[in-house]
Structure 1
């Protein structure tokens, strides 16, 4: 039974790669980073600094774009642990990342 989702992000199924989902990524071996990494965690939106450092990166790939583009968002240790814990905690982090990606204001 599929769980209801509060976000539209879909994880790449285990055993598959982005190449399997979007053919635009086939044969892509190099990356070019444009812009600077975010200064805040995409999960909790707290700023990175000497104590709170980026610990994990989540990439969002548009499934139907004819060119290979991805967005990379960093998570702090607390949010990366929540993501790795699974189920509802992962869902909450994915919903927060999607809101961050869309530019929605934080609800807290």
Structure 2
């Protein structure tokens, strides 16, 4: 699967390596091109996953605010709910197209 923004592939991994959580595909950390992500200071804590780290996605000269996120240290109980450890996996939103 691929995460694409403005024609640039910013993450790519076999579908079996991704994790589906609440309708979003989470990419393994090593499959994401970190040069496209800039840490955001936007705070959010999911009641069951834990503290979230948002990223803005660089797209040419533009920056798409908070269009990616991950959970660096999810709550241990979230692993039971998801079925595996998803620490630092990255999901994308809106202008980032995730396709097979």
Q: TM-score, structure 1 length as denominator?
A: 0.30
More strand as a share of residues? 2
Structure with higher Rg: it is 1
